[in-house]
Amino acid sequence: NPLISGLQDGPEDGPVAPMAMQKPPKSELSKRKRKKKRGAIINTANCKYDVVRECAESLGWDEDPDVSGESGNFNVFWTDTSVLLARVARLKNHQRINHFPSMHIICRKNHLGTTLGKMRK
């Protein structure tokens, strides 16, 4: 039969898939090291809204106990105010912040209108 030509005959169970198509035994799978997925660490030192903390907790994130926000022991830095470029420049590759520099320029209606007008030209 051409459909099973690539299959080998097994001892009692009938055709057996070629070795490349077979799954490794469970003992080999359990030997592989699996990286444990950890929750993020969020710093809410500059956040006055409890809903941010509640959402982070529901996601399984831990809160950074540093109230100054300068420890650097966080993955996410949540702030209610604008962010200076120097603050963003100090972030490490694995860290994120909920704002970007000069965000106030597009967040205020008059600045947004000016910026959109410049883009249109």
Mean pLDDT in order along the chain per 10 residues (121 residues): 52 57 59 65 91 94 81 87 82 88 74 87 86
Q: Is residue 114 part of a domain?
A: no
Q: Is residue 103 part of a domain?
A: yes
**pLDDT value, residue 107:** 74
Longest CA–CA separation in the chain, Å = 79
**pLDDT value, residue 21:** 59
Q: Is residue 10 part of a domain?
A: yes
Both structure tokens of 76: 């996410």
Q: Domain span at residue 102?
A: 41-107
- Count the domains in the chain: 2
Q: Is residue 86 part of a domain?
A: yes
**pLDDT value, residue 37:** 60
Q: Is residue 91 part of a domain?
A: yes
Sheet (strand 96-97) strand order: 62-63, 41-46, 76-79, 96-97
80 and 101 share one domain: yes
Q: Is residue 61 part of a domain?
A: yes
**pLDDT value, residue 58:** 94
Question: How far apart are alpha carbons 74 and 20 in whole angstroms?
Answer: 43
- HSE, side-chain direction, 13 A CA sphere, residue 109: 0
50 and 89 share one domain: yes
